Structure 1
Amino acid sequence: MKYTTEIVVDLPRDEFIKKLDNPENMKHWQRGLVDYEQLSQNPGQEGARMSLSYQMGKRKMDMVETIIKRNLPEEMHTTYDTKGVHNIQKNYFKEEDGKTRWISESEFQFSGFGMKMLALLMPGAFKKQSAIYMKDFKAFAENGTSVEHL
């Protein structure tokens, strides 16, 4: 399953990247994030891995992020792996009149019957979740609005 989401954030690209690239800020725009841990000696660089833990309602989800391409401020590509799901994220950041257009191309690959059925039955849920993260980042970056205690 593939889709693209995008949003314009009212910040110059350099400021946008500083906020996006700081793992301490993730709790302010990634709903349900409970913890993260750097798994590599080279955090933030190509090949670096980070463990992420989320609580979504009664469901706990752990995943591993791997940076596969880091060419900031233009782009950063990552993968996210959790049970039954491999997600490839290609993120592009374009400067537009003092604002930043964030374009995110998502590709989900599913293994296991349950995850494949979920993807077939609820494909919109994945795109909706991506859009929520982008809107929450925009609110945090522009206004300092945090989702940490929601």
Structure 2
Amino acid sequence: MTDLSEYDRALSRKRAAAGVLFFDSSGRVMIVDPVYKECWEIPGGAVEKDESPRAGARREVREELGLDIEPGRLLSVDWTAPRAERSEGIAMLFDGGELSGEQLEAVRLQPEELRAFEFASKDQLERRLIPVLARRVKASIDARRRATTVYLENGSAVG
């Protein structure tokens, strides 16, 4: 992208993140243990400049898990308020579907980023994830079940 208009330069910029929810045959969701922080996460991360959220989610999954899987349907869009050391942002979660045994065997964790992965039931998410992410993942699981997309603010449904 070259020169932006004065109007465009004056607009706010928001962080963007995208993740993918993968499930096992029991309907539990994959969570990952990052080496750089205590709380667990889901596969995904920051969307890079000039990268679509779907492409960012796919890239992050490929980097973190060694799986090249096209993300499915958008499950949620979540606006997150600024907090300590973070600006406001938009986080999107996509449906990764149920992973086969072959796909699970192919998982290769990026050692600089992840220690482990496991599958968690919806009830376990509040104990493993930060509150806003637990709410986002739960709402996204519900949206998947209903075949809808949900808009959230700080992990909670609005409207």
Tell me the TM-score range normalised by the shorter chain: under 0.3
Larger of the two Rg values belongs to structure = 2
The TM-score, its normalising length taken from structure 2, stands at 0.26
More strand by share: 1
